[in-house]
């Protein structure tokens, strides 16, 4: 099904760059969220007459999200993934915890906020991960502004810390933290120079839409490891209370007791709504 009235519409991205509206992109994002084909068609029909030249990607997201919530309740929580990750703030620590939980599920053993002595100075490592006798130093770069990218300086900073820690290990026989690779994990896109530098240095880069296979959002969607910030009815206080008590993923809600959630300050109505929403994703 095509919609000719969409063809002349220009969309303004968060970066300020304009591009033609893409029905294919909307279809693809809805498909990744798990929307049924007939629901995807309904959502696109619902956009007819609502889009205008110069509309922002944020406004389109809101229109699609609301329509999806109306036509296929439950799936709309998955559709809000990018926005949900940006709500893992205002500090970067919840994002670090989220990355650690994601890696735990993938077979890594992780620790967050680990202090390691380098050759020159001490470093606080966001996430330390171990798998198959390989030890990884992971820098988590969290952004809460749409359109922001992680840049080459972020990759340079991560690699410099890694090299100091490696040098510290080599110069100290009592050093127990042997790291084999530096990782840069970010919730936004990477600049081309960040990718170029990371590849040159043999770093692992994990970001929104990078790499082409196995990107951050693909790992989350493939393993159904959505952050609980996908539940848009939670306010800032709710989110912070849950995250501070190690409830990070939507699936964590399915095993949390009603009493525990109530003790964290959620009303009985919100507990019921949260449990129902979690069940719709993981039931």
pTM to 2 decimals? Answer: 0.87
pLDDT digits (tens, 9 = 90+) for 260-269: 999 999 999 9
Q: Residue 192 belongs to a domain with what CATH number? A: 3.40.1350.10
102 shares a domain with 56:
no
pLDDT at 72: 84
Predicted confidence at residue 214, as pLDDT, reads 96
Domain count, the chain: 3
H or E element, residue 131: strand 122-131
Within this chain, do residues 213 and 105 fall inside the same structural domain, yes or no? yes
Q: Annotate 56-92 with b (16+ C-beta within 10 A) or e (fewer).
A: ebeebbebbbebbbebbebbbbbbbbbbbbbbbbeeb
User: Are 181 and 117 in the same domain?
Assistant: yes
Neighbours of 115 (CB within 10 A): 9
Mark whether 96 and 187 lie in a shared domain: yes
Regarding whether 154 and 132 lie in a shared domain, the answer is yes
- H/E stretch holding 136 reads strand 134-141
User: Could you tell me if 180 and 218 lie in one domain?
Assistant: yes
> Do residue 92 and residue 219 come from a single domain?
yes
Residues of the chain with pLDDT under 50: 1-2
CB-side exposure of 37: number of CA atoms within 13 Å? 1
Side by side, the strands of the sheet bearing 204-206 are: 109-117, 122-131, 134-141, 181-186, 204-206
Residue 244 sits in which domain range? Answer: 226-282
Instruction: Say whether 190 sits in a helix, a strand or coil.
Output: strand
Q: What is the DSSP string of 168-184?
A: HHHH-TT------EEEE
**pLDDT tens string 205-260:** 999 999 999 999 999 999 999 999 999 999 999 999 999 999 999 999 999 999 99
pLDDT for the residue numbered 46: 93
pLDDT of residue 248: 96
Same domain, 213 and 236: no
Q: Measured between alpha carbons, how far is 266 from 36 in angstroms, rounded to an integer?
A: 32
Task: Give the DSSP letter of residue 21.
Answer: -
183 beta partners: 138, 204
158 and 254 assigned to the same domain: no
Q: Are residues 198 and 249 in the same domain?
A: no
Instruction: State which of 203, 223, 243 marks the end of a domain.
Output: 223
Same-domain pairing of 180 and 212: yes
- Give the model's pLDDT for residue 1: 43
What is the CATH number for 241?
Answer: 1.10.150.20
């Amino acid at each position: 099904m095509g919609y000719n009235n969409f063809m002349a519409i220009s969309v303004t991205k968060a970066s300020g760059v304009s591009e033609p509206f893409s029905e294919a992109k909307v279809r693809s994002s809805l498909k990744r969220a798990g929307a049924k084909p007939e629901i995807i068609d309904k959502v696109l029909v619902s956009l007819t007459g609502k889009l205008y030249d110069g509309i922002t990607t944020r406004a389109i997201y809101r229109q699609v999200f609301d329509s999806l919530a109306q036509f296929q309740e439950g799936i709309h929580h998955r559709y809000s993934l990018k926005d949900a990750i940006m709500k893992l703030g205002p500090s970067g620590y919840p994002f670090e915890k989220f990355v650690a939980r994601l890696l735990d599920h993938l077979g890594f053993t992780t620790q967050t906020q680990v202090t390691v002595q380098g050759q020159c100075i001490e470093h606080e490592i966001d996430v330390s991960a171990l798998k198959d006798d390989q030890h990884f130093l992971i820098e988590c770069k969290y952004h809460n502004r749409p359109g922001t990218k992680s840049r080459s300086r972020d990759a340079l900073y991560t690699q410099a810390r890694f090299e100091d820690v490696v040098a510290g290990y080599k110069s100290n026989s009592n050093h127990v933290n042997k790291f084999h690779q530096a990782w840069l994990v970010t919730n936004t896109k990477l600049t081309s120079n960040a990718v170029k530098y990371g590849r040159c240095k043999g770093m692992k880069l994990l970001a929104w839409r990078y790499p082409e296979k196995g990107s951050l959002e693909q790992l989350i969607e493939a393993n159904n490891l959505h952050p609980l910030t996908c539940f848009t009815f939670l306010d800032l206080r709710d989110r912070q209370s849950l995250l501070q008590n190690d409830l990070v993923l939507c699936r964590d809600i399915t095993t949390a007791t009603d009493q525990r959630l109530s003790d964290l300050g959620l009303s009985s109505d919100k507990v019921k709504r949260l449990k129902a929403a979690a069940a719709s994703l993981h039931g």
